[in-house]
């Protein structure tokens, strides 16, 4: 009897696991891209090793987890905390960029630093685990527009104007002094220069007024939000309203739905937030603005807590399975897990 019960139990477990095998294989056979992680900034400060995975146990991403999950491209943010002094912040941001270059050199062909459309086009959908540098908040530019080209030369290909608080370029979504404003004149000059260089503009962390100011500057270029959720469910300025989502999609852009529990759900203890909550935001955004404008932007290594079944990229099949269970086609799932990022970045990056 006990052996029969074990066989029945094993059979049920196998049936439960079989769908996830499809989701796992799907991510490995299709282009898989995450729009936002803070891993390099954390690892650089902590002294851990992304390549050998030494002392990375407490992190969400390292090269081994990129391999196991099939993650082909990770947009890696460089954020400098406000307690780091102005000029030191600039040096630190460039030092982290150099760290990214060393990682790519150490890993060889497996890990390229994506800087152009040609680089992006050269990535196989089922091979390699690559990186793209993004600047999260322009404080390290020191309100000196000439520094933008230096950051460009170090490999940055996307900039977010703020990180929550107000700065010289724009108003943030959660200013310390309750003053809310949009883009400053210097911020407008910065955006125009960035677009001329071929940088993607990320509206994450912007005030809502800043978002609408930015729209008027984009011309025919897609606007992106690398990591946000829907204000339909959690109405904070950090999340996007339905109108913002529609306006962003109208530019041809993409929003990366993030895994931050506080942005996903305010009615649950953070330990109870799961991939089901992430999927609710994904589904709402897809229904509102269409499958071509929604992607993933985890915020791995940028937050203390994550959904209880999404601890790292290797768990993303749980979320993918929810897409399949909802009746999404393989083509639609492929767009959300990476195809949309690939399309929009291909439009934004310089040709060579």
Element housing 261 (H / E): helix 261-264
179 or 322, greater pLDDT: 322
DSSP codes of every residue in 101-129: HHHHHHHGGGS-B--SHHHHHTS-TTS--
Q: Express as a percent the part of the chain with pLDDT over 90.
A: 85
For the chain, give the mean pLDDT: 92
Backbone angles phi, psi at 96, to 5 degrees: -65, -40
Q: How confident is the model at residue 13 (pLDDT cuts 50, 70, 90)?
A: very low
Would you call 124 exposed, middle or buried from its count of C-beta atoms within 10 A (0-12, 13-18, 19+)? exposed
**Strand intervals (E) in 166-271:** 200-202, 224-228, 254-257
The model's pLDDT over 125-149, given as tens digits with 9 standing for 90+, comes to 767 999 999 999 999 999 999 999 9
Which pLDDT value is given to residue 2? Answer: 45
Contact 341, 254 (CB under 8 A): yes
- The encoded tokens of residue 149 equal 């080209």
The model's pLDDT over 34-84, given as tens digits with 9 standing for 90+, comes to 999 999 988 878 889 999 999 999 999 999 999 999 999 999 999 998 788
Which pLDDT value is given to residue 86? Answer: 83
Q: What is the DSSP letter of 311?
A: S
Residue 262, pLDDT above cutoff 70: yes
Q: Express as a percent the part of the chain with pLDDT over 70.
A: 94
In whole angstroms, what is the distance from residue 4 CA to residue 253 CA? Answer: 54
Average pLDDT over residues 99-115: 95
Residue 251, pLDDT above cutoff 50: yes
181 or 18, greater pLDDT: 181
**Could you tell me which residues are beta bridge partners of residue 225?**
255
Domain segments of the chain as ranges: 20-348
Q: How many CA atoms lie within 13 A of 330 on its CB side?
A: 8
Residue 193, pLDDT above cutoff 50: yes
Distances (CA, A) of 297 to 13, 27, 37, 142: 30, 15, 8, 27
Which pLDDT value is given to residue 216? Answer: 95
Does the pTM surpass 0.85? The reply is yes
Reduced to 3 states (helix: H, G, I; strand: E, B; else coil), residue 182 is coil
Which pLDDT value is given to residue 137? Answer: 96
Residue 225, pLDDT above cutoff 60: yes
Distances (CA, A) of 74 to 113, 120, 209, 263, 302: 10, 12, 29, 21, 14
Q: What is the DSSP letter of 174?
A: S
Q: How confident is the model at residue 8 (pLDDT cuts 50, 70, 90)?
A: very low
Would you call 78 exposed, middle or buried from its count of C-beta atoms within 10 A (0-12, 13-18, 19+)? buried
Which pLDDT value is given to residue 18? Answer: 63
Average pLDDT over residues 246-260: 98
Which pLDDT value is given to residue 180? Answer: 83
In whole angstroms, what is the distance from residue 1 CA to residue 3 CA? Answer: 5
- The encoded tokens of residue 112 equal 């390229």
Which pLDDT value is given to residue 84? Answer: 86
Number of CB atoms found within 10 A of residue 238's CB: 21
Residue 276, pLDDT above cutoff 70: yes
Residue 177, pLDDT above cutoff 80: no
CATH architecture of 20-348: Alpha-Beta Barrel (3.20)
Q: How confident is the model at residue 263 (pLDDT cuts 50, 70, 90)?
A: very high
Which pLDDT value is given to residue 175? Answer: 78
Residue 93, pLDDT above cutoff 70: yes
In whole angstroms, what is the distance from residue 290 CA to residue 270 CA? Answer: 29
CA-based diameter of the chain, in Å?
A: 77
Distances (CA, A) of 225 to 74, 138, 143, 159, 204: 15, 16, 22, 10, 5
**Could you tell me which residues are beta bridge partners of residue 170?**
183
């Amino acid at each position: 009897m006990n052996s029969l019960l074990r066989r029945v139990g094993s059979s049920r477990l196998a049936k439960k696991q079989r769908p996830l095998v499809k989701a796992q294989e799907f991510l490995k056979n299709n282009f898989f891209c995450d729009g936002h992680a803070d891993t390099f900034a954390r690892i650089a400060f902590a002294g851990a090793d992304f390549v050998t995975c030494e002392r990375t146990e407490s992190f969400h991403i390292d090269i081994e987890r990129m391999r196991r999950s099939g993650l082909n491209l990770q947009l890696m943010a460089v954020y400098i905390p406000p307690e780091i002094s102005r000029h030191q912040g600039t040096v630190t941001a460039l030092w982290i960029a150099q760290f990214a270059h060393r990682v790519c050199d150490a890993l060889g062909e497996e890990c390229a630093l994506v800087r152009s459309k040609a680089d992006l086009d050269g990535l196989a959908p089922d091979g390699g685990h690559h990186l793209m540098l993004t600047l999260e908040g322009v404080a390290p530019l020191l309100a000196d527009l000439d520094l933008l080209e230096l950051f460009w030369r170090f490999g940055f290909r996307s900039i977010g104007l703020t990180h929550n608080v107000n700065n010289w370029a724009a108003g943030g979504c959660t200013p310390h002094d309750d003053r809310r404003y949009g883009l400053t004149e210097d911020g407008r000059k910065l955006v125009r220069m960035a677009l001329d260089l071929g940088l993607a503009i990320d509206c994450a962390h912007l005030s809502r007024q800043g978002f609408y100011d930015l729209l008027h500057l984009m011309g025919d270029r897609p606007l992106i939000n690398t990591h946000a959720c829907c204000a339909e469910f959690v109405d904070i300025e950090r999340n996007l309203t339905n109108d913002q989502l529609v306006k962003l999609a109208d530019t041809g852009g993409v929003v990366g739905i993030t895994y931050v529990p506080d942005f996903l759900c305010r009615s649950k203890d953070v330990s109870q937030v799961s991939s089901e909550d992430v999927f609710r935001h994904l589904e709402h955004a897809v229904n509102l603005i269409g499958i071509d404008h929604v992607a993933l932007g985890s915020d791995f290594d940028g937050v203390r807590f994550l959904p209880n079944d999404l601890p790292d990229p290797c768990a993303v099949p749980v979320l993918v399975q929810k897409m399949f269970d909802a009746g999404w086609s393989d083509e639609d799932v492929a767009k959300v897990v990476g195809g949309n990022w690939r399309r929009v970045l291909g439009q934004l990056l310089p040709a060579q």
